[in-house]
Structure 1
Amino acid sequence: MTERAVHETRSVPSPGCPPPHPAPRVPSLPLPPDSCDAHCHVLGPAAVFPYAPDRTFTPYDAPKEQLRALHAHLGIRRAVIVQSSCHGRDHAALLDALGSDTGRLRGVALIGETTTREEIEELHRAGVRAFRLNFLPHLRTPPTRDEIDSVLERVDGLDWAVQLHVRGEEIAALEGLVRALPGRAVVDHIGRVDLATGRDGPALRSLRALLDTGRVWVKASGVDRISRQGPPYADAVTLAASLVAYAPERVVWGTDYPHVNIVGEAPDDGLLVDLVERIAPDPAHLRRLMVDNPAELFDFPPTH
C-alpha cells in the first residue's frame, strides 16, 4: 500500500467517533453571563492540522469555527479547550483556536518529558492554564511518577492545574498520588465512575475525600458517558448534583463536545445545557458552577 493510501485509510473516522449531533436544540435554560464550557475540544481540520500518526482514534473534524457556533447557539461565552490525544503533543490547532478569541478561551495541554520550557511558556501566553494526564489505556500508556514529576518541573511557577483523566476504579488507587501533587488538580468527567457500584463505592468515596482537601476539583461533564439509562441521563445527573451539593465551590461543567470515543450517537448539547438546572438547582450554586468556579480554576478575568 502506498504512503498516500495509508494516510487516506487512517483519515476515516474510527468506530466510536460519531459526528456531532446534527441539530442540538436551543436550551430553555438561560445561563448566567460569562458561563463557561470547561471541557470541550477542537479537532482539526485534518487538512490544516493533521492528526498525530500514532493516534489511537480518528475523529470527525470539529474546527474552532464549529465550536464557536455551537457556543453561540447554547448561550455560552467562555470555554476551556482540552488538547485531544488524537493531536498528540502538537498544539498547533489549540494555539490557533486560542489566538482567534483572546480572553474568552483557555486551554489544557498535553505535555511530556520532551516538551521544552519555551514551548510551555508559549502555551501559557496563549491561555493554557492546565495540563492533562491520561490514565486511560485506550489513549496511551499511563504516565509513571517520574514522567509526572518531570512535567511538574517544566511547569513550575506557572500555577497550572493538573487535569486527571481516570476511570472509576483508578481514583482510589491514585488517591495518594493526587494528594501529593502540588497546587490544584481537577478530575475529568466525574471520574468516569461506574454507577453500578452505587453512591458509596470506593471510587466515589475517594473522590469526595479528594474534594475535602480543598485542592481538588471535579468536572460535571460526560454524564452521557457514565449514565446507564440513556437520555436524559437521570442517574448520572443525580450523581453530578450530589457533588455540587457536597462541594459547590469546586465543581465545573463542560459539554465534552464533540464527544469522541463514545458508544452510539453523540448527545444533544442543548439537552446537556438544560440538565445543568438539575445538576445545580440552587441559583447560587448554578452561578458558581458555570461562572465563578471556572474563572478561578482557569484564570479568567473577574466577572460582575
Structure 2
Amino acid sequence: MVAAKLSEYNTYRKITKWLLLLLGLFPLENASLFYRFLPYIHLFLNLGTAFGMLGFVRAHITNILVVSKRLGLMVSFLTGSLKIVCMIIYHEDAMKLRSLDKHFNILINNPQFTNMAFDGVTAFRRLSWAVSLLVLLSGTVNVITPIILIIYQQSHHFQPVKYILPYLSIYPWNVEPNGYLYKFHFIFETVATYSLVAITSSIEPLFTLYVIQMIGQLREMSYVMEHLNESNDPESSVRDCINQYTNLVECRNMVQKIFGPIILWQIITNAVILCLGIFQLSQASLTIHIVLVPS
C-alpha cells in the first residue's frame, strides 16, 4: 500500500517536473540561455493565439452567441499567459520553494511519517489528471476539426475549399487560404494549443504539490508535538518545530505571491465563462423549443 502511494506520488511529481522543464519554468541553477528564453516563447505563443481570437471577436462583436464561444477560449490562453508571467517574475521564490520538495522526500522515506504524509495525495492526483485530460481532449478537438473539415470538402469535391484555423482567428494581415501564411498560423496555433495543455497540466499540479508538501510538514510537526513525552530532548524538538514552522510560513507567503494573482484571475474569469456557458445553453434550449414547438 505504501509502495503504491509512493509510486503514485513520484509519478505525479516527475510528470509535473518534465512539463515544467518543457516550458522552461522549472527552477534550475545555472540554466542555459535557451532554457531561460523558453518561457518567453510559450508566452508569445499564447498571447499570439489570444490576439488572433480577439480579431475574431472584434469582427463578430454584434453576434453575441458566436462571440461568447470564442471568449472562453481566448480567456484560457490569457490565463496561460498570466501563469507564465507569474512564474517568470517570481522565479527566485520558486527556487526557494524547492526546499519543500527536499524536506518532503526525507519525510516520506521515514516509515514513521510515510502514511501520514501521503494521506489525501491520491485525490489531488486524480483531480489534476482529470483536468489535464479534459484540456488535452479539448485542445485536440480544436486542432483536428479544421483538418477533418478540409478533408471532407476535398473528398466531396467542394469548391472552393474553405480553410479555417483551429480557433477561427482573424489577424490584421491577409491570410490567404492554404497559403504559406495560413500554414504558418495553423502550426502556430497548434503548438500554442499544446503549450497551453502543458501549462495547465504543470502549474496547477505544481501548486498542488506545494500544498501537499506543506501539509506533510504540518502533520509532522503535529505528531512531534503530540509525542513530546517520548522524545529524548523535548526542548530541542520544540525548537525544531518552531524553526520549521517559521520556514513554512515563509514558504506559504511565497506560494501566495506566485499563485495569488492566478487564483484571483481564475475566480473572476471562471465566473464570466460560466455565465457565457449558461447563455449558450439557454440559446440552444431556445432553438430546440422553437423547432419542436412551431407557432
TM-score by length of 2: 0.22
Larger Rg: 2
Higher relative contact order (CA 8 A, sep 6+): 2
TM-score by length of 1: 0.22
